[in-house]
């Protein structure tokens, strides 16, 4: 970091340096703009991108697929809630983000065991509980590399510096920001500000307001710094928002609230699709294979289930019910030949000391887990009857797919909690990344990308288009529009 000159007017101030922020900063710098990048973290990589493991795809579709394929996928998995102009930009620019990253010596390649998915290399599984991290791995390496190039080429990088308020000229144009640094509060003047500080998943008040009445009870499956500062600043200026009640996340073991060995993996999505999910009354309340068929794939089902649980009245009150056969599967995806969530769920739970209830009868299982026994027995009997004749879709709470009945003792109950990784809603942007006012016009000088921006994800069927891909695409778009506007 170098000291800034308070008399300098920068072309761009980037607030938040995850993948979206560093992409915007580096691309703007490449285009000849004077850039300052500020982040409240203590160094490159202090962002939610660290949770991704470097997963660089259009969610569960290849990032180099043809734009028409990507657009159809987005329409399906977001149930049409994604804004079409943003989907169009995303789909048409996904592939070139890989080329741009390669030009920055950041390589996204295939793994031998996952031949249809790209990861920023070298890949290493995300450490449990984020108790450690590796700057030589995937997204951390990428962001460290971006920072080094940015500083070497004259950019001003300010870690430990939180952007707390936007400066606005008399004509309504954003003209910089107030920044809280270790030395106090300073003002930085900039012709444009890019908000890219992530979502609001670590802000209990905003979670309760937008996601669900008890959403702050979810397990935070990401960085605690993601408090929605950029969102709050944009809202203060009258920004519109999109799809605020949806998020990306996975079901986790309830003990992950106190046991770091149980998050971010194993996720319970796979075993939920092998069994049923019930509340404390023993009743099913969600379709355990919520996405159905098509390009969405079974992989997105867990995200939809997690939204249903996290948006409800008790994100910590659901149990996965399995019998002896479904317990053995451990969330194995037979079509892909791999575990859903990287690790075998059940063995990992037991190895990490997670609570699992086991009994030879449903009544005894319910007693151990403090589930209503009459409700559980009735639910399992109704489910088994429907599953046996292939009519689970006709249950009062429909069940997609072709589930097996749960009939073979012993039976298992795994307590769970909804885990939130990042929010999918955020400030409304147009195809250029400009933040939109509630009156429909762009707020002059204000842009957003990554987790701060909404409109690219959300919906009851998972609604996930890929975190790093969306962040990188709109980081590029913001920088390029700023440069083009200046040139004009």
Q: What is the pLDDT of residue 223?
A: 87
Residues 283 and 179 in one domain: no
Q: Could you tell me if residue 54 is inside a domain?
A: yes
Residues 332 and 235 in one domain: no
Q: Could you tell me if residue 398 is inside a domain?
A: yes
Confidence of residue 1 (pLDDT cuts 50, 70, 90): very low
CB 3 within 8 A of CB 127: no
First to last CA, the chain: 32
Nearest to 398 by CA among 483, 476, 291: 291
The domain tally of the chain equals 2
Confidence of residue 114 (pLDDT cuts 50, 70, 90): low
Q: Which two tokens stand for residue 171?
A: 């004509």
Question: 182-191, 244-253, 326-335, 370-379: which has the minimum mean pLDDT?
Answer: 326-335
Domain end, chosen from 420, 441, 459, is at 420
CB 179 within 8 A of CB 161: yes
CATH number of the domain residue 359 falls in: 3.90.700.10
Q: Could you tell me if residue 410 is inside a domain?
A: yes
Range of the domain at 342: 248-420
Q: Could you tell me if residue 271 is inside a domain?
A: yes
pLDDT at 129 over 80: no
Highest mean pLDDT among 118-132, 165-179, 292-306: 165-179
Phi, psi (rounded to 5 degrees) for 452 = -75, -30
Q: Could you tell me if residue 355 is inside a domain?
A: yes
Domain end, chosen from 420, 442, 471, is at 420
Confidence of residue 115 (pLDDT cuts 50, 70, 90): low
Q: Could you tell me if residue 3 is inside a domain?
A: no
Q: What is the pLDDT of residue 295?
A: 59
pLDDT at 45 over 80: no
DSSP-assigned letter for residue 194 = E
Rounded to whole angstroms, how far apart are CA atoms 101 and 268? Answer: 33
Other beta carbons within 10 angstroms of residue 240's beta carbon come to: 18
Helix/strand/coil for 165: strand
Helix/strand/coil for 229: helix
Rounded to whole angstroms, how far apart are CA atoms 197 and 14? Answer: 9
Q: Could you tell me if residue 152 is inside a domain?
A: yes
Domain end, chosen from 362, 387, 420, is at 420
Q: What is the pLDDT of residue 49?
A: 82
Helix/strand/coil for 284: strand
**How do residues 173-207 score in pLDDT, each as one tens digit?**
999 999 999 999 999 999 999 999 999 999 999 99
pLDDT at 226 over 60: yes
Beta bridge partners of 114: 111
477: number of CA atoms within 13 Å, CB side? 29
Residues 66 and 180 in one domain: yes
Phi, psi (rounded to 5 degrees) for 143 = -70, -35
CB 335 within 8 A of CB 344: no
Question: 46-60, 98-112, 214-228: which has the minimum mean pLDDT?
Answer: 46-60
Q: What is the pLDDT of residue 140?
A: 87
Q: Could you tell me if residue 86 is inside a domain?
A: yes
Q: Name the average pLDDT for the chain.
A: 93
**How do residues 387-407 score in pLDDT, each as one tens digit?**
999 999 999 999 998 999 999
**How do residues 47-85 score in pLDDT, each as one tens digit?**
888 777 788 998 888 899 999 999 999 999 999 999 999
Residues 416 and 428 in one domain: no
Q: What is the pLDDT of residue 269?
A: 92
Residues 372 and 460 in one domain: no
Residues 88 and 129 in one domain: yes
pLDDT at 43 over 90: no
Q: Which two tokens stand for residue 306?
A: 């997690």
Residues 208 and 253 in one domain: no
Nearest to 198 by CA among 222, 243, 157, 228: 228
Residues 79 and 210 in one domain: yes
Confidence of residue 4 (pLDDT cuts 50, 70, 90): low
Beta bridge partners of 156: 36
**How do residues 262-317 score in pLDDT, each as one tens digit?**
999 999 999 999 999 999 999 999 999 987 566 556 778 899 999 999 999 999 99
Phi, psi (rounded to 5 degrees) for 167 = -95, 135
CATH number of the domain residue 441 falls in: 3.50.50.60
Q: What is the pLDDT of residue 332?
A: 79
**How do residues 244-253 score in pLDDT, each as one tens digit?**
999 999 999 9
Nearest to 19 by CA among 37, 45, 38: 45
Residues 188 and 53 in one domain: yes
Nearest to 221 by CA among 201, 199, 200, 198: 201
Average pLDDT, integer, range 383-390: 98
Residues 435 and 393 in one domain: no
Residues 232 and 378 in one domain: no
Residues 447 and 337 in one domain: no
Q: What is the pLDDT of residue 339?
A: 74
Where do we find the tokens 């933040």?
435
For strands 114-120 and 108-111, give the pairing. antiparallel
Question: 68-77, 377-386, 470-479: which has the minimum mean pLDDT?
Answer: 68-77
Q: What is the pLDDT of residue 293?
A: 63
Q: Which two tokens stand for residue 307?
A: 């939204």
């Amino acid at each position: 970091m170098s000291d800034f000159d308070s008399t300098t007017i920068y072309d761009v101030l980037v607030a938040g340096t995850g993948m979206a922020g560093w992409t915007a900063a580096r691309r703007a710098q490449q285009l000849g703009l004077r850039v300052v990048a500020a982040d409240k973290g203590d160094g490159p990589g202090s962002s939610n991108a660290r949770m991704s493991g470097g997963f660089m795809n259009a969610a569960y579709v290849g990032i180099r697929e043809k734009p028409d394929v990507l657009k159809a996928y987005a329409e399906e998995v977001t149930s049409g809630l994604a804004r079409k102009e943003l989907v169009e930009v995303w789909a048409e620019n996904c592939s070139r983000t890989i080329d741009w990253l390669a030009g920055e010596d950041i390589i996204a390649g295939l793994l031998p065991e996952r031949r249809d998915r790209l990861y920023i290399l070298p890949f290493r599984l995300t450490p449990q509980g984020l108790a450690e991290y590796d700057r030589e791995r995937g997204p951390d390496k990428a962001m460290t590399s971006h920072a080094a190039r940015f500083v070497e080429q004259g950019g001003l990088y300010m870690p430990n510096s939180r952007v707390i308020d936007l400066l606005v000229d008399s004509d309504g144009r954003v003209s910089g920001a107030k920044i809280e640094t270790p030395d106090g509060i300073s003002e930085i003047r900039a012709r444009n500000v890019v908000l890219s500080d992530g979502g609001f998943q670590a802000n209990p008040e905003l979670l309760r307001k937008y996601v669900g009445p008890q959403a702050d009870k979810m397990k935070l499956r990401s960085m605690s710094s993601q408090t929605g500062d950029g969102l709050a600043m944009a809202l203060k200026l009258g920004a519109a928002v999109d799809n605020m009640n949806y998020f990306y996340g996975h079901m986790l073991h309830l003990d992950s609230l106190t046991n770091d060995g149980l998050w971010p993996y194993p996720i319970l999505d796979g075993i939920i699709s092998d069994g049923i999910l019930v509340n404390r009354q023993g009743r099913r309340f969600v379709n355990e294979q919520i996405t159905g068929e098509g390009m969405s794939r079974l992989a997105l089902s867990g995200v939809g289930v997690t939204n249903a649980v996290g948006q409800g009245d008790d994100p910590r009150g659901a149990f996965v019910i399995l019998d002896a056969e479904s317990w053995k599967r451990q969330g194995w995806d037979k079509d892909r030949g791999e575990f859903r969530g990287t690790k075998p769920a059940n063995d990992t739970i037991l190895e990490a000391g997670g609570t699992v209830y086991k009994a030879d009868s449903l009544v005894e299982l319910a007693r151990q887990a403090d589930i209503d026994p009459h409700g559980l027995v009735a639910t399992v009997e109704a489910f088994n009857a429907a599953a046996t004749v292939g009519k689970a879709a006709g249950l009062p709470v429909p069940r997609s797919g072709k589930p097996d009945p749960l009939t073979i003792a012993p039976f298992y109950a795994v307590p769970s909690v909804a885990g939130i990784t990042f929010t999918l809603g955020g400030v409304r942007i147009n195809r250029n990344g400009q933040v939109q006012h509630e009156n429909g016009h762009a707020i002059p000088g204000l842009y957003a990308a990554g987790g701060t921006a909404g409109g690219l994800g959300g919906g009851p069927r998972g609604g996930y288009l890929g975190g790093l891909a969306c962040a990188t695409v709109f980081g590029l778009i913001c920088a390029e529009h700023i440069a083009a506007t200046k040139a004009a």
